[in-house]
Amino acid sequence: MPITSRPSTGLSLVETVDPSPHMPRLVGIGLLAAALFSITFVLNRAMSLGGGHWVWSASLRYVDMAFLLTAWLLVRRGPRYLAAVLHLFCARLGFWLLAGGIGFGIFYACCCFATDHAQGWIVAATWQLTILATPFVLRAFGARVPMRGLIFLGFIFLGVLTLNIQRASTGSSVTQILSGVVPVMVAAVAYPVGNQLLNCAKHAGDEASVLLSDPVAAVLLLTLGALPVFVLLILLFNPPLPGVAQVGATALIALVAGCLATTLFLYARNLSRDPLHIAAVDATQAAEVAFALFGEMLMLGAAPPDLLGWVGLVAVIGGLIGFTFQSTEG
């Protein structure tokens, strides 16, 4: 899930562009982004089944992201702009280590650890709990958040609960279930905490706010701040060196999910010029869970869920879609 800011829904009188594109086009772009995002869960599971250590699955992605984003800014913005971004990182080192370490480091390390103990699509479904956590995180930062749509958040929670009851019924131990759920719950809180720290810095009204309005620069700063977390994990767990397949898979995740999917999602969101279109684009991200499921079934030979699993899956996706559209009302 990318870091985004809600675009303006008003049209200037001097604008000559056409009204918002047709809904099918926006939904199509959003679904393509969701499919690319889902590759993260499928490939992380594939690396786990192939014997790759979860520490390398987490660490190598963000090393690749750091190189890709740095190259992007260098080519598109030039060396002076990149130097300004790096200077901001050094000038506020403590802040970026905190925001990046929590929002990217802890978040993704927990997701990769969970994939060792649960199928990728179940991790993807459990990850939707971040929608439930975000309003409470915002309130903890002092933001006033209307608690509309609680019934839909309840659907998401019950869906995740149902999925893990289904796992228990298929013979998974309590330890295995908790190892696949608790880390994702931690990740679901860590990600919005990192986002909100960034949001506070972006709206501080100082010179840094201009740089932070560029999402590529902001993601690079958070990525750099997360790298010490992965260095610490490597030192603590001392995992065996990754194989060529794992190195290639993490590079693919960084490129496809980290760059292409994020770009497509932001493109579709920026094309949207009213709350309904914005909600439709956001709601397409619920398809990540379904794409992850079908991806695992096709690529890894995973068994389809039973009836209880399908009920949980529909509850998670339906709750996310319902909450997204309901949040645009009023």
pLDDT along the chain (330 residues), means of 10: 43 40 81 92 95 96 95 95 96 96 96 94 90 84 73 86 83 88 94 89 80 88 96 97 96 90 80 73 83 92 89 89 70
pLDDT score at 2 = 53
The single-letter DSSP state of residue 286 is G
pLDDT score at 145 = 67
Residue 15 maps to a domain: no
Residue 245 maps to a domain: yes
Which strand (E) or helix (H) includes residue 1? none
Which strand (E) or helix (H) includes residue 104? none
Residue 14 maps to a domain: no
Residue 9 maps to a domain: no
pLDDT score at 100 = 95
pLDDT score at 6 = 39
Q: Which domain holds residue 247?
A: 23-326
Q: Does the global pTM surpass 0.75? A: yes
Residue 194 maps to a domain: yes
Q: How many CA atoms lie within 13 A of 213 on its CB side?
A: 9
Residue 64 maps to a domain: yes
Residue 8 maps to a domain: no
pLDDT score at 51 = 94
pLDDT score at 15 = 37
Q: Which of 34, 57, 50 is nearest to 251 (CA)?
A: 57
Residue 41 maps to a domain: yes
Residues contacting 260, CB < 8 A, separation 6+? 36
Query: What is the total count of domains within the chain?
Result: 1
Alpha helices by DSSP H, the chain: 23-49, 54-77, 79-91, 93-100, 107-115, 120-127, 129-140, 150-169, 174-202, 208-212, 215-237, 244-253, 262-271, 275-283, 287-299, 307-326
